[in-house]
Structure 1
Amino acid sequence: MDLISSNIFLIVLFSSFIQSITGFGFAVVGTPLLLFFMEPKQVVSLMVFGALILNLMVIYKTRGKSDPKVIWPMFIASLIGIVPGVYILKVVDASNLKLCIGILILLVSLFMASNYVMTIKREKLATVLVGIVSGFMGGATSLSGPPVALFLMNQQQDKEAFRANLVRYFCLGNIATLLVMYFMETMELGVLRQGLYAIPGVLLGVWVGEKAFAKVSPKLFKWITLGVIFFCGTISVTSELIKR
């Protein structure tokens, strides 16, 4: 195993550990680290491939604990949001957009950390709107996860339901992304050879994460989740400020 393969294994292991606990964070944690020694196209292919395997594993372990009435409307709405998200890149500077969204994510996560809860009377409508926002942010900046995570936290779902809903939402997104990449011929198939080193990292990360998840208290779970969201916003803001 060479140095790059070893780094892939360790990064995927850590990212899988985080996502198996919180239900998200695999790409948020892994992508910026992998970009230090891999091309962006390779990183995207590897992350989507690894995330799909991880999410399928966690879906199996969380069977019967999700709410399809939340997941499917949100996912379908996210497909609608992707189109304007991709389009806005043509009329708005992507760097400024990512910076503004990163700052917004940081502010919202700080509000959530102060135990602020927004009362939502029309939850079904809110679910659709969150899906559209998630798709929009995914299409414009690749940051589709924070809106969904923050919404589910605001609804005060217990850690089991929170994780089960998130992994199913992202698994559907992984499948849709792979299909789009395949038909648009943007998938880096050569990286799948290095992906062989990612699979043990995913398996070990999920196994350790499952052990940790069972011992994590609801309070600690909340802080870990908010920490991942805050990290996502920080990376987004910092990466754009460095470019200026």
Structure 2
Amino acid sequence: MADIFSSFPPGLLVFLAVVLFVAGCVRGFAGFGAGMIFMPVAASVMLPSTAAATFLFIDGIVALPLVIRALRLCNWSTVLPAVVGAVIFVHVGAWLLANADVLVLRWTIFAIVTGLLLLLVSGWRYERKPSRPVSLGVGAVAGILGGISQVSGPPVVAFWLSSAKEPAIVRANLIVFFALASIGTFVAYIFNGFFTLEVFHLLIMAIPVYAIAIYLGSNGFKHADPKLYRKLAYGLIALAALSSMPLLDPLFR
């Protein structure tokens, strides 16, 4: 425990635990969105690479029970090509995180996420059967964003929400996609040296808090109205856009 406090003051740990608890509840309910909540706040009080590596680790381990249940429901014909695109292009995102201008990256993320949200709100629907090239392209965009910021959700969420699929199938697609795509992100982050001692100190607090939150959120989904799911998804994409906008830094920093 002393090792945790050597890296993070007690007050900061409590603050991060609260943010992580909220993020975990949302992840358990919606199947995505935790990174959109945790990353903007965490990256304002520590290195973005430390925040991203911490979140990747806990989400990959703690969300495993969600994955096992989602395997039976997901649409593999569109999930697998998206995973391939994400696994390949996450290395581009990780390289950008390590080398590119952070301000430019954040404005780019804001533009992409905002555009996807506006497309969804407009009522547009992708009514064709998702082809492999389209799924691959969506996964590639998600992989780049995930490598940069662990906010890979908006492209795949917008893609699958625009279909006529039931919320349970959309949620299952997202859970399986993130689980498989995270394997490539792990490799990319290892190559870039993002798993530092500070990350493992933070995991001592983060793992139990996130596990409890995911359990509570997952149970909440069983009793939710399908319309609520879609509204929450739109709200989370909007949150991702706003939190990535540099003009709002005074609110987080």
Alignment of 1:99-178 (within 5 A): 99-120=107-128, 123-139=131-147, 142-178=150-186
For residue 232 of structure 1, report the CA deviation from its aligned partner. 0.6
Q: Give how far 1:25 is off.
A: 1.1
Give the secondary-structure state (helix, strand or coil) at the position aligned to 1:21.
Answer: helix
Q: CA deviation at 1:229?
A: 0.7
Report if the CA contact (8 A) 2:23-2:35 is conserved. yes
State the partner residue of 1:50: 58
Matched, 1:27 2:27: no
Relative to structure 1, the CA distance from residue 176 to residue 80 in structure 2 (aligned partners, 3 Å threshold; closer, same or farther) is closer
Using a 3 Å threshold, how does the CA distance of structure 1 residues 127 and 10 change in structure 2: closer, same or farther? same
Confirm or deny that 1:223 pairs with 2:231.
Answer: yes
Q: Percent identity?
A: 23
Asked whether the equivalents of residues 18 and 26 of structure 1 are also in contact (C-alpha less than 8 Å), the reply is yes
1:74 has 2:78 as partner: no
86-95 or 117-126: bigger deviation: 86-95
Moved more, 18-27 or 85-94: 85-94
In the superposition, the TM-score normalised over structure 2's length comes to: 0.82
Shift of 1:211: 2.1
Kept after mapping to 1: 8 A contact 2:29/2:219: no
Cα distance change of structure 1 residues 125 and 15 upon mapping to structure 2, 3 Å threshold = same
C-alpha distance in 2 between matches for 1:76 and 1:223: 29
Superimposed CA distance per residue, residues 85-127 of structure 1 (whole angstroms, 9 cap, x where no aligned partner)? 5677899865345324413422431332343213335533321
Aligned amino acid, residue 64 of structure 2: L
Q: 1:72 to 1:216 in 2, by over 3 A?
A: same
Q: Taking structure 1 as reference, are residues 34 and 50 closer, same or farther at Cα in structure 2, changes over 3 Å only?
A: same
Give the RMSD, CA atoms, in angstroms: 2.8
Q: Which deviates more, 92-101 or 4-13?
A: 92-101
Aligned CA distance change for structure 1 residues 240 and 143 (closer, same or farther; 3 Å): farther
Equivalent residue letter for 1:37:
V
